[in-house]
Amino acid sequence: MRAKVLVATYPQVDDLLRAVRQARRETFRVYDVFAPFPVHGLDDAMGIRHTRLPKITLIAGLTGLACALLLQFYTNVLDWPLNVGGKPDNTTLAFIPISFELTVLFGGLATVAAFFLRTKLYPGKQAWLVTPGVTDDVFALVLRKPSDEESERRARALLTEHGAASVTESEADL
């Protein structure tokens, strides 16, 4: 679905932050902010909830741990026990390094994969740039366009008041 949005560009990051806070205070809906680097304080200003990605890390890490222990136990104890220097078949302590490595490997790869899935980034994806320069030096605040004219006028005024270099209308995917 496409929705109409107002795109305000800011050359200064402080202006952008103030504009975002004010827009939320006046209950305009912030579609997104586009910036060349992660701006500190924007998470709070935009009211972004904590991501659940670390939970994926935990689950995948534990899976890696379980796989590593099962693999080593199965091969050394069940499938083909080999006598190495008279040590017991189930030498759990010797299994720890590999278990740790696979925990990290699974956890890391799954977190990155989940990140790409959640943010819908994939190789070769056509980049949708809200306005040129957001990967260089432009900060863009994108508000959902209010339905009634009165609020739209107020929204535009608010964006300009906080130092927007330009305010344009555009369409964005929801």
Partner 1 sequence: MDKLPDGVMEPRWIAGAPTLKQVTDDIARPMEGKPGKLWYALFAVAVLCLIDLLVMATWLIANGIGVWGLNNSVGWAFDITNFVFWIGIGHAGTLISAILLLFRQKWRTSINRSAEAMTIFAVMCAGLFPLLHMGRPWDAFFIFPYAPNQHGPLWVNFRSPLVWDVFAISTYFTISLVFWFLGLIPDLATLRDRATTKIKKWVLGVFSFGWNGSHRTWARYEVVSLVLAGLATPLVLSVHSIVSMDFATSLVPGWHTTIFPPYFVAGAIYSGFGMVLTLLILTRQSMNLQRYITIKHLDAMAKVLLLTGSIVSYAYATEFFAAWYGGNLYEKYHFINRATGPYAFGFYLMVLCNVLAPQLFWWKRIRTSVGALFVVSILVNIGMWFERFIIIVVGLHRSFLPSSWGMFYPTLIDFGILIGSFGLFFTLFLLFIRFMPMIAIWEVKGVVTDQAGHAGDAGASHAG
Contact 46, 30 (CB under 8 A): yes
Mode of pairing for the β-strands spanning 2-10 and 30-34: unpaired
Contact 103, 111 (CB under 8 A): no
Q: Which of 13, 27, 22 is nearest to 45 (CA)?
A: 22
Q: Which of 116, 153, 168, 169 is in the footprint of partner 1 by CB under 8 A? A: 116
Per CB under 8 A, does 78 bind partner 1? no
Cα→Cα distances 100→15, 64, 69, 87, 134, Å: 46, 8, 10, 22, 40
Q: Which of 1, 2, 27, 127 is in the footprint of partner 1 by CB under 8 A? A: 127
Q: Which of 104, 154, 165, 170 is in the footprint of partner 1 by CB under 8 A? A: 104
CB of 173 to partner 1, least distance (A): 11
Q: Which of 32, 65, 66, 170 is in the footprint of partner 1 by CB under 8 A? A: 32
How many positions of this chain bind partner 1 (CB under 8 A)? 65
Integer-rounded Cα Rg, in Å, for the chain is: 25
Q: What does the binding site for partner 1 look like in residue numbers (CB under 8 A)?
A: 13-14, 32-40, 42-43, 46, 48, 51, 53-54, 57, 61, 71-72, 75-76, 79-80, 82, 84, 87, 91, 94-95, 97-98, 100-102, 104-105, 107-109, 111-112, 115-116, 118-130, 132-137
